[in-house]
Chains A and B, each alone.
Chain A
Amino acid sequence: MTQTQIIAARLALLAAILAAWALLPKYGVLDPRLLPPLGDVLAMLGKQLARSQVQEAIGVTALEVVVAFVIAVPIGAAIGVAAAEFEYFGQIFKPMLFYVFSVPKSIFLPMFILIFGIGFPQKVAYAAFSTVFIVIMSATAAVESVKADHVLVARSCGATKAQILWRIYVPSMMPVLLETLRISMIFNFTGVMIAEMYASRTGIGHLIANWGENFQMPELFAGVIMLSVVAICFNEAVRLLEVRVSKWRT
């Protein structure tokens, strides 16, 4: 199949799904109370986006996501780089990090509520906590993707430590680092949503949980679309950048 054909097939698949969503509930094939038709959901999405309560919730959620991300990524990256670069540090801490990484982070949420109460700090702390481990793992992998041979070649060409860092480490690590950014954002977003849905007075996650409990399906699906679009856009933007800087990796 050519690239155009593949893209056409993808668009056809998307159109088919949207058409099914629009038509099946309308004609009673699917229960419209559980799956409201796409048209109703989109109309509801417009209505909700116009409400100040929803706009405020979007602001809160966005701020939580950004703050948690800005906390988790540098801390995780620093620990991950240290674990890869300093042998003893890595040998001592790596097993423990791997153990904690394998535990589902959501079981710690009640502890965060007890420590921080319900609100902004609790949600940010929990999201950062659930993100930091994947950043540590990926940062370690990024450093380990730097080839010793390349460092040796650079030294033989007279490179200083700073030049090795800038001209060898950074380009070697860049594809893995962007991948890290992308994947950790998925964890981070999930963390914020779980925290908001579990116990919160505001935020999109809180609204979605409420709408679900009150059986307000058009509102619920409007919320789902809203979040999906934001998440997909971020992911794809970083992935595009990733493809651009990893051309040489094939």
Chain B
Amino acid sequence: MTAIEVDRLSHIYAGAEGGVPALEDISMTVEAGKFVVIVGPSGCGKTSLLMMLAGLRHQSTGTILCDGRPITDPDPSRVGVVFQEASLFPWLTALDNTEFPLALRGTPRDERRRRAEDMLNLVGLQGFGARFPHELSGGMKQRVSIARGLVQDPPVLLMDEPFAALDEQTRMTMGHELLRIWSKTRKTVVFITHSLTEAVYLADEVLVMSARPGRIVDRIAIDLPRPRTYEMMATDTFGKLRERIWQQIRKPEGTLS
């Protein structure tokens, strides 16, 4: 079953000297339950692409289907989004932050409490519901963000460099945690990152994008067994996959010089 289908999507930014092509002819299919990671240099438009998948920004041409229906506006029942750091509302507790999408829809208080608590348990934060974001560590804040993204039980979870602001160790732990949550919930995940190691460690498939205009230049199936372990990072296969992505990313610079 196909969860996400992007068909010939292009985007042009209005600039001073006519339009600036930001995304060019993006087509991709994500099967339900897959973990897809998008990597690419800064300015390749990967965040723009994610915003469009979330219905938060409109593409110039092309279509996005999610569950067979087009995405034109945010639809949290189909797509949950986890942003970079500092996206929790600092005036709400962890529990209230997690409930937020349900509160918007007017879900009864008891039900939304229960579901938010379930989600906090799922991400390993039982007992932290009453804490405010400034009382949580960076990793814990991102756990709350994930809980908030999952609370409406959408089939698709989009993640925009969710661990970029964390230190290396926390980042590894969070990657591992994310895989645990993913294997429990069986969501379709589209994950954006700068880190090649993170990409190979997490993904079923890595899409490599080039910059200016943003294009998908390679699709790499990561056939490492699951569950993934930290030891796999030291293997030859892991290194080769990482190397192949790196070659694709640095290519445009090579052609310039």
Given A163-B104, A171-B91, 10 extra CB contacts under 8 A: A149-B83, A149-B86, A153-B89, A156-B74, A156-B83, A158-B75, A167-B100, A167-B104, A248-B132, A248-B133
Closest A residue to B81 by CB, please name it: A156
Task: Output the least CB separation between A146 and chain B (Å).
Answer: 11
Closest A residue to B54 by CB, please name it: A156
- A150, B56: Cβ atoms closer than 8 Å: no
Which of B77, B87, B100, B103 is A149 in contact with, Cβ under 8 Å?
Answer: B87
In Å, the complex CA distance between A207 and B81 comes to 64
- B89, A247: Cβ atoms closer than 8 Å: no
Question: What residues of chain A lie closer than 8 Å to B45, measured between beta carbons?
Answer: none
Hey, which bits of chain B sit against chain A, CB under 8 A?
54, 56, 74-77, 81, 83, 86-87, 89-92, 100-101, 103-105, 132-134, 148
- B83, A157: Cβ atoms closer than 8 Å: no
Question: What residues of chain A lie closer than 8 Å to B91, measured between beta carbons?
Answer: 171-172, 245, 248
Which of A147, A158, A171, A248 is B74 in contact with, Cβ under 8 Å?
Answer: A158
Query: DSSP majority for the A interface?
Result: helix
In Å, the complex CA distance between A172 and B92 comes to 11
In Å, the complex CA distance between A245 and B90 comes to 11
Task: Output the least CB separation between B166 and chain A (Å).
Answer: 17
A155 adjacent to chain B (CB < 8 Å): yes
Task: Output the least CB separation between B64 and chain A (Å).
Answer: 15
Question: What residues of chain B lie closer than 8 Å to A157, measured between beta carbons?
Answer: 74, 76, 100-101, 104, 148
Which of B87, B92, B105, B134 is A158 in contact with, Cβ under 8 Å?
Answer: B105
A159 adjacent to chain B (CB < 8 Å): yes
- B76, A158: Cβ atoms closer than 8 Å: yes
Q: Which of B54, B76, B77, B90 lies at the interface centre, i.e. has the most chain A CB atoms within 10 A of its CB?
A: B90
In Å, the complex CA distance between A159 and B90 comes to 18
Contact residues, A134-154 vs B (CB, 8 A): 147, 149-150, 152-154
Question: What residues of chain A lie closer than 8 Å to B77, measured between beta carbons?
Answer: 158
In Å, the complex CA distance between A105 and B92 comes to 41
Question: What residues of chain A lie closer than 8 Å to B133, measured between beta carbons?
Answer: 248
Question: What residues of chain B lie closer than 8 Å to A158, measured between beta carbons?
Answer: 74-77, 101, 104-105
Task: Output the least CB separation between A69 and chain B (Å).
Answer: 27
A71 adjacent to chain B (CB < 8 Å): no
In Å, the complex CA distance between A15 and B134 comes to 39
Closest B residue to A156 by CB, please name it: B81
Which of B54, B89, B132 is A150 in contact with, Cβ under 8 Å?
Answer: B89
Question: What residues of chain B lie closer than 8 Å to A153, measured between beta carbons?
Answer: 81, 83, 87, 89
Would A171 and B100 be within 8 Å (CB), given that A156-B54, A156-B56, A158-B74 are in contact? no
Closest B residue to A159 by CB, please name it: B104
- A248, B104: Cβ atoms closer than 8 Å: no
Closest B residue to A157 by CB, please name it: B101
11 contacts between A and B (CB under 8 A): A150-B87, A153-B83, A154-B100, A157-B100, A157-B104, A158-B77, A158-B105, A159-B104, A245-B91, A248-B133, A250-B134
- A247, B132: Cβ atoms closer than 8 Å: yes
A118 adjacent to chain B (CB < 8 Å): no
In Å, the complex CA distance between A247 and B135 comes to 11
Closest A residue to B105 by CB, please name it: A158
Task: Output the least CB separation between B233 and chain A (Å).
Answer: 32
In Å, the complex CA distance between A250 and B54 comes to 31
Question: What residues of chain B lie closer than 8 Å to A248, measured between beta carbons?
Answer: 90-92, 132-134
- B104, A152: Cβ atoms closer than 8 Å: no
Task: Output the least CB separation between A147 and chain B (Å).
Answer: 8
* The 7 A-B residue pairs with the shortest CB-CB distance in the complex, in nearest-first order: A157-B101, A156-B81, A158-B76, A248-B91, A171-B91, A248-B90, A153-B87
Closest B residue to A247 by CB, please name it: B132
Question: What residues of chain B lie closer than 8 Å to A167, measured between beta carbons?
Answer: 100, 103-104
In Å, the complex CA distance between A150 and B81 comes to 13
A168 adjacent to chain B (CB < 8 Å): yes
Which of B56, B101, B103, B105 is A152 in contact with, Cβ under 8 Å?
Answer: B56
Question: What residues of chain B lie closer than 8 Å to A160, measured between beta carbons?
Answer: 104
- B134, A155: Cβ atoms closer than 8 Å: no
Would A155 and B87 be within 8 Å (CB), given that A247-B132, A248-B132 are in contact? no
Question: What residues of chain B lie closer than 8 Å to A163, measured between beta carbons?
Answer: 104
A51 adjacent to chain B (CB < 8 Å): no
Question: What residues of chain B lie closer than 8 Å to A247, measured between beta carbons?
Answer: 132
Contact residues, A167-222 vs B (CB, 8 A): 167-168, 171-172
Task: Output the least CB separation between A84 and chain B (Å).
Answer: 20
Question: What residues of chain B lie closer than 8 Å to A249, measured between beta carbons?
Answer: 90
Question: What residues of chain B lie closer than 8 Å to A152, measured between beta carbons?
Answer: 56, 83, 87
- B104, A156: Cβ atoms closer than 8 Å: no
Question: What residues of chain A lie closer than 8 Å to B148, measured between beta carbons?
Answer: 157
